[in-house]
């Protein structure tokens, strides 16, 4: 069957993700309550089992969590699985933070209708078992989390097939107290760790800042439940991408804080929890200190700035002969003619974005494409798969509830793996200016250091290559983007005068990297434009990205209002209740698959969210790019057209 192109959907509630708003409060009948205990395997109710579990949870790391094998009566859960497979249709949902198949016609099991009950009797039993007084008290006891609501239920069915994933988040929304996931992969078979789909828990550097590498990983089996207390700023977890062609079916949900009228209800408790939610914490200034790379636009040196000021309002003559000569060493010469500059400007002025294909000249590129491809196939040492393996001058973008990717920023080495050293960076050390020429030299100097090891490894695989050569080329390109000549070309094409810049060479590794949708910080400066001029030079040498199946694409969504809007929490599934909540008017305004030698130039105003989709484990390679941002002067009032 043909695969359709992935047009990712916005990450938030939308009318189609929530078919209809349903009443989610339920009340168990006494009969249901009485039979609920029988739906569980009885060994879990042994006092010693319970107490052991309670101790395990109290001692667990990185935060309080627990698991029970063989929770539900085996026949009942097998029937639940059969009902789900035969009765429920799944629909793929994809946003910046997840790709998952959700039960399309039954978004939240709390909203089961009478007809649903008839076709899904086992599922109904399961729901009543999970939310029974017996089990709620059980969970409350072993986790020591306090009372749990019996009227507010919140469960949904998801299946993760090959390529599906859910990136790092802490589940903190509204009145959630305990998160749980009941796993139902194929019964009678062992779900192996290399299938992926594990639940991974993250420790935090400080509250609200998860570490980039997971602390532990839990590989689920049929009829096993995992649960943890939802702790604002601490309970960070993700679902590792499923790597093979298997279905990891699960029911997941939350126990909520007791509601008005219920035993254990405490007025104001819910509001206090909400105030601590990640949503509200995500963008606070203090926490941004833990973001690396820092969004930091550096002033263009005054001599160059003055040169650009002198060009304002000039018709042409932006580029001197020397400029053109310099640019022609890098760029496709056809982009340097007055006619094509004018043409690019016309498109850019009209659309605010322009894709320039074959941006770099063939002469400049030489064998770079092959070189990067060969490097990916024969990387030495192996592709870094943890923070400590990313070696300077490469760095790792953190924290993982916002981003993860490798980058070169041309700045000094920084230790970012603990709160103290980060505080030192933020409060004591001055940040020097990026210098890609120097960074290139650093790579050059480091190269002989690995030569011996490389030579030894080549005895087994003569094709092995180290990262140094291509890194030097990337630095060279970053320097080119920082050149005054390029800024003049940029000014001619965009009509904007750059006054500050930030350039990064980036690599998004398969099975690891992404950026989540983020909007720009508004700059409170009357002399600069509120939007940002951005460029991404795509340098991904591998092919096979076009369908979007492996992610790695860059996408922009426009929001009506820059402010996040409050979305009704009720009825949201974990996946829907993502960290960002955008308004209903979101729409995709730009999408670009990973590719080779294409420059995307855009002027992004603050209402536009942008992200690079998580690159799947089975992707044909890494996504490589040079990412640039320029703060521009507000030289003239904006034109209306």
Residue 621: closest CA among 470, 455, 441, 481: 470
Q: In the structure encoding, which two tokens stand for residue 441, read together? A: 């030299």
Question: Which one of the spans 58-66, 87-95, 279-287, 350-358 is the region binding other proteins (CB under 8 A)?
Answer: 350-358
Q: What are phi and psi of 133, to 5 degrees?
A: -55, -40
| Residue 388 makes contact with other proteins by CB under 8 A | no
Cα→Cα distances 564→280, 282, 294, 607, 613, Å: 10, 12, 23, 10, 21
Q: How many CB atoms lie within 10 A of CB 338?
A: 12
By CB atoms closer than 10 A (0-12, 13-18, 19+), residue 104 is: middle
Distance between CA 531 and CA 173 in Å, rounded? 31
Output 68 or 602, the one with its CB closest to other proteins.
602
Distance between CA 199 and CA 206 in Å, rounded? 21
Determine contact, residues 410/501, Cβ cutoff 8 Å: no
Helix, strand, coil percentages in the chain from 3-state DSSP, rounded to 5: 30, 25, 45
Which one of residues 351, 432, 437, 521 is an interface residue with other proteins (CB under 8 A)?
351
Q: In the structure encoding, which two tokens stand for residue 567, read together? A: 């979305």
β-pairing, 498-508 vs 406-408, is antiparallel
Question: Which one of the spans 90-98, 125-133, 268-276, 381-389 is the region binding other proteins (CB under 8 A)?
Answer: 381-389
| Binders of other proteins in range 500-529 (CB under 8 A) | 509-511
| Residue 546 makes contact with other proteins by CB under 8 A | yes
Report the run of H or E that residue 166 belongs to, with start and end: strand 165-169
Is the CA virtual torsion 15, 92, 575, 9 positive or negative? Answer: negative
| Binders of other proteins in range 307-326 (CB under 8 A) | 311-315
Which one of residues 291, 355, 444, 469 is an interface residue with other proteins (CB under 8 A)?
355
In the complex, what is the shortest distance from the CB of residue 333 to other proteins, in angstroms, rounded to a whole number? 9
Which one of residues 332, 414, 471, 502 is an interface residue with other proteins (CB under 8 A)?
332
In the complex, what is the shortest distance from the CB of residue 240 to other proteins, in angstroms, rounded to a whole number? 12
By CB atoms closer than 10 A (0-12, 13-18, 19+), residue 432 is: exposed
Over the window 455 to 494, marking each residue x when it contacts other proteins by CB under 8 A and - when it does not, the resulting string is -----xx-x---------------------------xxxx
In the complex, what is the shortest distance from the CB of residue 180 to other proteins, in angstroms, rounded to a whole number? 24
Contacts of 477 (CB under 8 A, 6+ apart): 330, 360, 505, 537, 539, 626
In the complex, what is the shortest distance from the CB of residue 481 to other proteins, in angstroms, rounded to a whole number? 18
Q: What are phi and psi of 153, to 5 degrees?
A: -110, 160
Output 112 or 390, the one with its CB closest to other proteins.
390
User: Looking at residue 37, what DSSP letter applies?
Assistant: G
DSSP string, 302-348: HHHHHHHHHHTT-SS--S-HHHHHHHHHHB-GGGSSHHHHHHHHHHH
Over the window 54 to 93, marking each residue x when it contacts other proteins by CB under 8 A and - when it does not, the resulting string is -------------------------------x--------
| Residue 367 makes contact with other proteins by CB under 8 A | no
| Residue 357 makes contact with other proteins by CB under 8 A | yes
Which one of residues 344, 416, 477, 478 is an interface residue with other proteins (CB under 8 A)?
344
| Binders of other proteins in range 601-630 (CB under 8 A) | 602-608, 617-618
In the complex, what is the shortest distance from the CB of residue 314 to other proteins, in angstroms, rounded to a whole number? 6
Contacts of 45 (CB under 8 A, 6+ apart): 37, 138
| Binders of other proteins in range 104-133 (CB under 8 A) | none
User: Looking at residue 638, what DSSP letter applies?
Assistant: P
Which one of residues 47, 59, 526, 638 is an interface residue with other proteins (CB under 8 A)?
638
Output 207 or 495, the one with its CB closest to other proteins.
495
| Binders of other proteins in range 585-604 (CB under 8 A) | 585, 587-591, 598, 602-604
Determine contact, residues 202/171, Cβ cutoff 8 Å: no
Question: Which one of the spans 320-328, 376-384, 401-409, 445-453 is the region binding other proteins (CB under 8 A)?
Answer: 376-384
Q: In the structure encoding, which two tokens stand for residue 483, read together? A: 């050149």
Question: Which one of the spans 130-138, 327-335, 413-421, 571-579 is the region binding other proteins (CB under 8 A)?
Answer: 327-335
Which one of residues 330, 496, 508, 611 is an interface residue with other proteins (CB under 8 A)?
496
Total of chain residues touching other proteins, rule CB under 8 A: 93
Determine contact, residues 242/91, Cβ cutoff 8 Å: no
In the complex, what is the shortest distance from the CB of residue 574 to other proteins, in angstroms, rounded to a whole number? 24
In the complex, what is the shortest distance from the CB of residue 594 to other proteins, in angstroms, rounded to a whole number? 12
| Binders of other proteins in range 177-216 (CB under 8 A) | 186-190, 192, 194-195
Output 262 or 605, the one with its CB closest to other proteins.
605
In the complex, what is the shortest distance from the CB of residue 412 to other proteins, in angstroms, rounded to a whole number? 29
In the complex, what is the shortest distance from the CB of residue 300 to other proteins, in angstroms, rounded to a whole number? 18
| Residue 352 makes contact with other proteins by CB under 8 A | yes
Between vectors from CA 556 to CA 551 and to CA 557, what angle results, nearest 5°? 115
Which one of residues 197, 434, 531, 629 is an interface residue with other proteins (CB under 8 A)?
531
Distance of CA 636 to the CA centre of its chain: 37
63 three-class SS: coil
Distance between CA 417 and CA 399 in Å, rounded? 11
| Binders of other proteins in range 225-254 (CB under 8 A) | 243-247
| Residue 442 makes contact with other proteins by CB under 8 A | no
Which one of residues 133, 259, 298, 340 is an interface residue with other proteins (CB under 8 A)?
340
Q: What are phi and psi of 492, to 5 degrees?
A: -65, -35
Output 150 or 621, the one with its CB closest to other proteins.
621
| Residue 538 makes contact with other proteins by CB under 8 A | no
Distance of CA 348 to the CA centre of its chain: 29
Output 57 or 493, the one with its CB closest to other proteins.
493
Question: Which one of the spans 101-109, 262-270, 271-279, 556-564 is the region binding other proteins (CB under 8 A)?
Answer: 556-564
């Amino acid at each position: 069957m043909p695969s359709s192109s992935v047009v990712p959907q916005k990450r938030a509630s939308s009318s189609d993700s929530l078919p209809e708003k349903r009443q989610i409060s339920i009340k168990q009948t006494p009969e249901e309550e009485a039979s609920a205990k029988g739906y569980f395997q009885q060994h879990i109710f042994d006092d010693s089992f319970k107490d052991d579990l309670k101790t395990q949870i109290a001692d667990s790391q990185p935060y309080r969590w627990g698991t029970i094998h063989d929770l539900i009566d085996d026949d009942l859960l097998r029937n639940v699985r059969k009902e789900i497979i035969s009765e429920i249709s799944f629909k793929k949902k994809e946003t910046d933070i997840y790709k998952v198949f959700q039960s399309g016609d039954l978004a939240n099991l709390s909203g089961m209708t009478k007809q649903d009950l008839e076709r899904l009797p086992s599922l109904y039993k399961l729901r009543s078992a999970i939310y029974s007084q017996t089990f709620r008290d059980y969970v409350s006891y072993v986790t020591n989390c306090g009372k749990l609501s019996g009227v507010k239920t919140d469960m949904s069915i998801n299946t993760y097939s090959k390529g599906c994933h859910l990136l790092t988040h802490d589940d903190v929304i509204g009145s959630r107290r305990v998160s749980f996931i009941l796993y139902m992969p194929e019964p009678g078979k062992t779900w192996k760790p290399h299938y992926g789909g594990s639940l991974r828990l993250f420790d935090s550097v400080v509250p609200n800042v998860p570490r980039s590498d997971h602390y532990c990983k839990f590989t689920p089996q049929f009829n096993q439940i995992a649960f943890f207390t939802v702790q604002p700023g601490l309970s960070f977890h993700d679902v590792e991408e499923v790597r093979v062609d298997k279905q990891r079916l699960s029911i997941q949900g939350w126990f909520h804080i007791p509601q008005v009228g219920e035993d254990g209800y405490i007025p104001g408790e819910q509001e206090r929890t909400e105030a601590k939610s990640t949503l509200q914490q995500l963008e606070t200034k203090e926490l941004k200190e833990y973001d690396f790379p820092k969004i930091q636009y550096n002033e263009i040196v005054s001599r160059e700035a003055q040169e650009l000021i002198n060009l304002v309002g000039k018709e042409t003559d932006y580029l001197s002969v020397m400029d053109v000569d310099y640019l022609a060493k890098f760029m496709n010469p056809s982009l340097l003619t007055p006619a094509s500059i004018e043409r690019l400007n016309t498109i850019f002025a009209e659309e605010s974005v322009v894709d320039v294909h074959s941006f770099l000249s063939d002469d400049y590129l030489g064998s770079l494409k092959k070189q990067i491809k060969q490097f990916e196939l024969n990387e030495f040492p192996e592709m870094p798969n943890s923070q400590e393996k990313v070696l300077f001058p490469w760095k790792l973008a953190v924290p993982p509830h916002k981003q993860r990717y490798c980058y070169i920023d041309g700045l000094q080495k920084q230790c970012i793996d603990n709160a103290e050293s980060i505080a030192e960076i933020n409060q004591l050390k001055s940040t020097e200016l990026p210098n890609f020429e120097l960074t290139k030299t650093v790579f050059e100097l480091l190269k002989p250091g690995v030569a011996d090891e490389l030579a030894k490894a080549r005895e087994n695989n003569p094709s092995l290559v180290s990262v140094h050569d291509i890194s030097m080329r990337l630095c060279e390109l970053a320097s080119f983007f920082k050149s005054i000549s390029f800024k003049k070309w940029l000014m001619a094409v965009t009509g904007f005068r750059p006054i500050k810049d930030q350039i990064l060479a980036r690599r998004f590794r398969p099975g690891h990297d992404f950026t989540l949708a983020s909007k720009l910080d508004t700059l409170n400066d009357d002399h600069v434009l509120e939007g940002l001029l951005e460029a991404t030079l795509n340098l991904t040498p591998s092919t096979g990205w076009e369908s979007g199946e492996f992610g790695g694409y860059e996408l922009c969504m426009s929001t009506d209002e820059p402010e996040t809007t409050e979305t009704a929490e009720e009825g949201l599934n974990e996946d829907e209740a993502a960290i960002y909540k955008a308004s209903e008017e979101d729409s995709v305004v730009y999408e670009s698959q990973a590719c080779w030698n294409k420059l995307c130039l855009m002027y992004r105003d603050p209402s536009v969210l942008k992200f690079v989709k998580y690159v799947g484990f089975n992707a044909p390679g890494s996504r490589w790019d040079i990412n640039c941002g320029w703060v521009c002067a507000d030289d003239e009032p904006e034109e209306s057209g």
